[in-house]
Chain A
Amino acid sequence: MALSTTVSQKKLIKRKAPRGFLKRVFKQRKPHLRLETTSDLLVHLNCLLFVHRLAEEARTNACENKCGVIKKEHVLAAAKVILKKSRG
């Protein structure tokens, strides 16, 4: 039961940036703006750091509740903090 509802860690991850995806998302949101050649890489870096901070926060939340698994509430609480921090 517990196994089927949790997602185990991936052992291998891709380090490649999904550049096409990033450009597409940006174009969808802001069709009148252009992205300079290397700035999508910096967007990727920014995303990485955002995900990193979110993960750290969620993990500490889970640890405080003495929970071995990261639950939805932990992510939600972390997201509130981190989204506030990552405003421009």
Chain B
Amino acid sequence: LNHYAKLFSFYAKMPMEKKAVEMVEKCLDKYFQHLCDDLEVFAAHAGRKTVRPEDLELLMRRQGLVSEQVSLHVLVERHLPLEYRQQLVPCAFSGNTVFPAQ
């Protein structure tokens, strides 16, 4: 949780109180709880026991993060570093192959 609290102060671009950091961590805890519950429901609805990327996409769509204008790949490109982007966004490689395979 510490990692995300640091990110919070990075995104806030403002100094913050120590109490506020504790509050952020509490929020994150609650958020993770919601996240896990939602993913369980989505996976169960599809009759799976594995959480697949589609479930995450559906979740982000429901949260209003992914919409018609902003697709998931745009968000990935905006926020994740290159090595993760390569694993998530399909891209044409030499020899007419696409990685990762859809």
- Residues of A at the B interface (CB closer than 8 Å) are 5-10, 13-18, 21, 25-26, 29-30, 32-36, 38-39, 41-52, 54-56, 58-59, 62, 68-72, 74-76, 79, 82-83, 85-88
Contact = CB atoms under 8 A, between A and B. Distances in A.
Contacts of B100: 38
Interface residues of B, number: 61
Contacts, number: 182
Interface of B: 3-4, 6-24, 27-28, 30-43, 49-53, 55-60, 62-65, 75-76, 79-81, 84, 87-88, 100
A14 B55 contact: no
Interface SS of A by simple majority? helix
A46 B51 CA distance: 14
A83 B35 CA distance: 10
